[in-house]
Amino acid sequence: MAEITLNNVIKRYGKTEVVHGINLDIAHNEFVVLVGPSGCGKSTTLRMIAGLEDISDGAISIGSDVVNDLPPRKRNISMVFQNYALYPHMSVRENLGFGLKIAKHDDAVVTERVNEAAEILGLDELLERTPAELSGGQRQRVAMGRAIVRHPQAFLFDEPLSNLDAKLRVQMRTEIKKLHQKVKTTVVYVTHDQVEAMTLADRIVVMKDGYIEQVGTPMDVFNHPVNTFVASFIGSPPMNLLPAVIKGGQVVFVDGKSLPVPARLAACVTEGQEVIFGLRPDDLTPVGHGIAESGDSARMTLDVVLSEPLGTETILYTSIAGQEAQGKMFGPRNVTPGETLEFDIAMDKAHLFDAASGRSVRVD
Amino acid sequence: MNRSLRKQVGAVATWLLTFLLMVIICVPGLWVVLTAFRPNGEVLAKPPVWIPENPSLNNFAKIFGYGADQVAIPVPAYFANSLIIALTSTVIALLIGMSGGYAFARYRFRFKNGLFLGLMLSRTVPGIALSLPIFMIWSRIGLIDAKMGLIIVYVAMNVPFTIWLIDGFFRQIPKEMSEAAQVDGCTRWQAFWKIEFPLAKSGIASAGIFAFLTSWNEYALASNLTRSTDSKTLPVGLMDFTAQFTIDWAGMSAMAVIIIIPALILTFLVQKHLIAGLTFGGVKG
Amino acid sequence: MANKRPPFWQREQYTPFLLLLPAVLTLLFVVLLPLLFSLYTSFTGYRLIRPESLWQWVGLRNYKRIFADGDFWVAFGRTIIFLTIALNLEFLLGLGIALLINKITWGQRTLRTIMMFPMMFSPILVGYQFKFVFNDNIGILNNALQALGLSDGAIPWLVDKYLANFSIIFAEVWMSTSVFAILLLAGLFAMPRDPLEAAKVDGCNPWQVFRHITLPFLMPFVFIAMTIRSLDVARAYDIVDVMTGGGPAGRTELLWTMIARVGYDNARMGQANAMAYVSILLSIAFTYYFFTKLLAARKYMGGAE
């Protein structure tokens, strides 16, 4: 059993605090992804779990033990590094078996486990090569193999795919997911790429400036962002965020145009409240080009400034109340810049955030 | 047409300059080497004899105490002293330098830049200036004319530069290597010896060779801290020749060749790593 | 929890200092303590032949005496001129040689290796070698000049005031130019191609490319070379000692040979130590200057931590 618990974990470098009292419970066999922009403290948090950074305050436990004072080797975890950190002076076989050798396992056990891992990851042919002779994807696989041979309590991944090209990244992403299904273990995975987070995670932890902003399943985080940061960080293209004021049951934009307050949020706003109206591009679609006609929808006539056809959909750049906004056209046709279109706004999917705090009006 | 002509002229000029450069670098040394194989009479001959007419190993036999006319200079003893002193001080300097270089490459700590600068500045002290107090202290504690006296000084002389180089070599190894090994179950000590040391090995070896050569070549301190065959090194011994009334150019050249040979061989071995270590440590913070 | 500092934490914090301890101790005992002793001695009238004079405090007399001594200032000035000329020449020649070898594609490795040899020579050997080359009677230089009919007499390379200094600088430059050449060559190899090509596309002529792109990029390497050189400039003592011994009649006397003569030959340790201090400060100022330049250049290159 390997739950990982972070209890009010703080990290300081000298006087600067970079992680401010994080609380997180990771269940056994759960795949948790820490995501956030660079400098948000996600890697530091992971390295504290690994034991590569000291914990300034608070406690981390793996399984039932507090591991604050244990060096990495006593935590029974394994880690895949961003640059793979393969040992260049050892063959793939030696790389895979290194941890077992250090733990003084019999040669027979080492060979067996290395072969087992090599088979899972399709490394059989490469065992006698050195890291220098491998391609990026192969190195990535060896790094993962090195992690699984020891049957650790938990896998830690530190941006493992960021050194790969786009195509390989997608491929390895699937392999990591498959691997997790084969080798059931707790996984903590750090990335700055929200797509990776969405596709891999059982639960996503969104971090910013050393704080956890939101924890939840991918769909939860996507559908119910707690604040404007999460709303704009998760999802691509990002959610449109437009400042407005609540007046007489209407969301009134700066240029005076208005939309009705979404029915489900009516009780959460007060008259005169300054808000930010959030709408995903998927929910701003030209009439007849939406995903599914929404029950509670409003309409607006907007000029298209630019269009980016992607095949299955076209992204439309327009502006609402003087602010750039993006919409999507599903089942697209050609759109010329300057064209004026009637847009459907799926009000049941719209979000309202308090302008002052940035927090969703619904959560409070 | 014009352009290609200019290119050709450029190429010829490049080669000429390179040739001239090589002549200036090589000829003085070659002249010494040639002289080592001539009888002294030929050295003094007028008009000069350019190519040795009957080259022989007599000069070498002579300074090693064999053959007809012996020299009063105990070269074998000097050679042994040089070797013992240079080797011992190199090994100690490497151990100290490895430990210090690793600290600079891998840890963040207070006063890091200041300490590094301090170490480097200690190397700046001119040998002759340092020799004065060391001479006074050593003569009180009986380290004058003792191999140990020179070994200690050479260790101190070599430590700063060894740290500089080894710091550079360790920096070239990603920190994650050692971290991966620690996650894989190594102690920091094991991670060092199993991963980082093997990777930095060739660099450390060249730092060692550099330290060896510094000790092997040193003169200012050795000339003042040594007195007899107990501790005199080859560079000091070379000056024994000049104390005589007529300089034995041929014998002196033979001895010079003996001093040069290790330098040539070792330079050949280290050159690649040495450049890498110097520039990496310096440029990449 | 907050107040309890686990031992592993503590160990981690002190490890670098423990690792540096042997180095620091060595330098403390072999460099710093002797230097303090030597500082004390420079305020005494210590002479080697009269041990009790070590306790004879004379205040600033040694310093007053050397600062009032014309010979000292001549040697001091000569040392500064010697360093200025030698280092600038080494830099310029080194840069030229690096650019030259960078152009050559065939045999480049061999050239580079040969270039490193002078750097590895014992200064005493370099001195000897050039004592031999510049010998007025049997030296290869005079022999060659005579054989080519360029000179009929024996040119007194090591005796004439100007020629002797020239010969010494030549030997010094011969020995140390390769430090610059090698490091600048490494810099040229490390140089990214993009800015060079961008500059060419932007219409720079070769000189402008060199002046505005190549040279600024090479500066950190120049400072590394200068810093390394400043660590061993005093090796010139060996060369001078062999070639001329500071003579004839003090015509090639540098600060370092003067220290040796006063301290060991005249046995006036107190006064020699005072001079030694001047030379130490000179060296330290020199190293410090280039080291801070190096740090600044490193920041500029974005390499510093």
Give the pLDDT confidence of C11-36 residue by residue, as tens digits.
Answer: 567 888 888 999 999 999 999 999 99
Evaluate if residue C2 carries a pLDDT over 60. Answer: no
pLDDT at position B111, please?
Answer: 86
Are A239 and A351 contacting, i.e. CB atoms less than 8 angstroms apart?
yes
Residues B45 and B102 in one domain: no
Q: Do B96 and C22 touch (CB under 8 A)?
A: yes
Distance of CA A212 to the CA centre of its chain: 13
Percent of chain C with pLDDT over 90: 14
Question: What value does the mean pLDDT take over residues C54-80?
Answer: 87
- How far apart (Å, rounded) are the C-alpha atoms in residues A193 and A161? 10
Question: What value does the mean pLDDT take over residues B33-49?
Answer: 79
Residue B97 pLDDT class (50, 70, 90 cuts)? very high
pLDDT at position C58, please?
Answer: 84
Residue of C nearest to B282 (CA): C224
- How far apart (Å, rounded) are the C-alpha atoms in residues A300 and B100? 69
C105 falls within a domain: yes
Interface test with A, best of B169, B183, B193, B202 (most A CBs within 10 A): B183
Q: What angle, 0 to 180 degrees and rounded to 10, lies between the N-to-C axes of helices B112-124 and C215-232?
A: 60
Topology of the domain covering A4-233: Rossmann fold (3.40.50)
List phi, psi (to 5°) of C295. Answer: -60, -45
Residue type for C197, please? E
Where does residue B154 rank: exposed (0-12), middle (13-18), buried (19+ CB within 10 A)?
Answer: buried
Contacts of C115 in chain B (CB under 8 A): 25
Domain range enclosing C283:
74-300
C-alpha distances (whole Å) from C219 to each of C207, C212, C222, C232 are 17, 11, 5, 20
Residue C157 pLDDT class (50, 70, 90 cuts)? confident
Domain boundaries, chain A: 4-233, 240-354
Residues B162 and B46 in one domain: no
Evaluate if residue B284 carries a pLDDT over 50. Answer: no
- How far apart (Å, rounded) are the C-alpha atoms in residues B73 and B32? 19
Please provide the average confidence, as pLDDT, over all residues in chain B. 84
Contacts of C12 in chain A (CB under 8 A): 54
Contacts of B177 in chain A (CB under 8 A): 85, 87
Q: Do B121 and C284 touch (CB under 8 A)?
A: yes
10 Å Cβ neighbour count for B74?
18
Residue of B nearest to C13 (CA): B109
Q: Do B184 and A73 touch (CB under 8 A)?
A: yes
Please provide the average confidence, as pLDDT, over all residues in chain C. 83
pLDDT at position C3, please?
Answer: 41
Shortest distance between the Cα of C192 and any Cα of chain A, in A, equals: 21
Contacts of B129 in chain C (CB under 8 A): 38, 234, 256, 259, 276-277, 279-280
pLDDT at position B63, please?
Answer: 77
Q: Do A103 and B183 touch (CB under 8 A)?
A: no
Contacts of B268 in chain C (CB under 8 A): 113
pLDDT at position B107, please?
Answer: 87
B196 falls within a domain: yes
Q: What is the pTM of this model?
A: 0.83
Contacts of C37 in chain B (CB under 8 A): 133, 136-137
Question: Which CATH class, in words, describes the domain spanning A240-354?
Answer: mainly beta
Evaluate if residue B209 carries a pLDDT over 70. Answer: yes
Contacts of C23 in chain B (CB under 8 A): 96-97, 99-100, 119, 159-160, 163
pLDDT at position C235, please?
Answer: 83
Residue type for B89, please? S
- How far apart (Å, rounded) are the C-alpha atoms in residues C284 and C290? 10
Residue of C nearest to A14 (CA): C13
Sheet holding A77-80, edge to edge: A77-80, A154-158, A186-191, A31-35, A203-208, A211-216
B65 falls within a domain: no
DSSP one-letter code for A208: E
B66 falls within a domain: no
Evaluate if residue B81 carries a pLDDT over 50. Answer: yes
Shortest distance between the Cα of C273 and any Cα of chain B, in A, equals: 7
C26 falls within a domain: no
- The larger pLDDT score, comparing residue C160 to residue B101, is at B101
CATH classification at residue C203:
1.10.3720.10
Percent of chain B with pLDDT over 70: 92
Total domains present in chain C: 1
With vertex at residue C224, the alpha carbon angle to CA C218 and CA C226, rounded to the nearest 5 degrees, is 100
Residues B52 and B79 in one domain: no
pLDDT at position C251, please?
Answer: 83
Question: What value does the mean pLDDT take over residues B277-281?
Answer: 61
Residues B190 and B49 in one domain: no
Evaluate if residue B96 carries a pLDDT over 50. Answer: yes
- Nearest Cα neighbor of C179 from C223, C210, C215 is C223
Q: Where are the beta strands (DSSP E) in A239-283?
A: 240-247, 250-253, 258-260, 274-279
Question: What value does the mean pLDDT take over residues B227-242?
Answer: 86
Residues B43 and B121 in one domain: no
pLDDT at position C12, please?
Answer: 67
Sign (positive or negative) of CA dihedral A8, A11, A14, A17: negative
Any idea which residue has 């390989």 for tokens?
Answer: A168
C100 falls within a domain: yes
Question: What value does the mean pLDDT take over residues C69-95?
Answer: 91
* Buried residues in A54-78 as b, exposed as e (16+ CB within 10 A): bbbebebbbbeeebbebbbbebbbb
pLDDT at position B42, please?
Answer: 78
Evaluate if residue C8 carries a pLDDT over 70. Answer: no
Sheet holding A258-260, edge to edge: A258-260, A250-253, A240-247, A274-279, A351-354
Residue type for A121, please? L
CATH classification at residue B108:
1.10.3720.10
Total domains present in chain B: 2
- CA atoms in the 13 A half-sphere facing the CB of B69: 8
C-alpha distances (whole Å) from A125 to each of A90, A115, A121, A134, A169 are 16, 11, 11, 11, 22
Residues B273 and B210 in one domain: yes
Strand partners, C148: none
Are B58 and B39 contacting, i.e. CB atoms less than 8 angstroms apart?
yes
Interface test with A, best of B109, B184, B189, B201 (most A CBs within 10 A): B184
B to C CB pairs, distance under 8 Å = 282
10 Å Cβ neighbour count for B174?
16
Residue C6 pLDDT class (50, 70, 90 cuts)? very low
Shortest distance between the Cα of C14 and any Cα of chain A, in A, equals: 14
**Positions of chain A with pLDDT lower than 70, given as ranges:** 1, 293-294, 363-364
Question: What value does the mean pLDDT take over residues C248-257?
Answer: 84
B22 falls within a domain: yes
Residues B130 and B219 in one domain: yes
The answer, for C239 touching chain B at a CB cutoff of 8 Å, is: no
C110 falls within a domain: yes
Residue of A nearest to B187 (CA): A73
C248 falls within a domain: yes
- Nearest Cα neighbor of A131 from A79, A85, A81 is A85
pLDDT at position B31, please?
Answer: 85
B166 falls within a domain: yes
**How would you classify residue A185: left for phi > 0, otherwise alpha for psi between -120 and 50, otherwise beta?**
beta
Residues B115 and B197 in one domain: yes
Are A285 and A334 contacting, i.e. CB atoms less than 8 angstroms apart?
no
C4 falls within a domain: no
- Nearest Cα neighbor of C235 from B217, A272, B72, A323 is B217
- The larger pLDDT score, comparing residue B2 to residue A235, is at A235
Contacts of B156 in chain C (CB under 8 A): 26-27, 29-31
Are B161 and B122 contacting, i.e. CB atoms less than 8 angstroms apart?
no
Domain range enclosing B42:
2-56
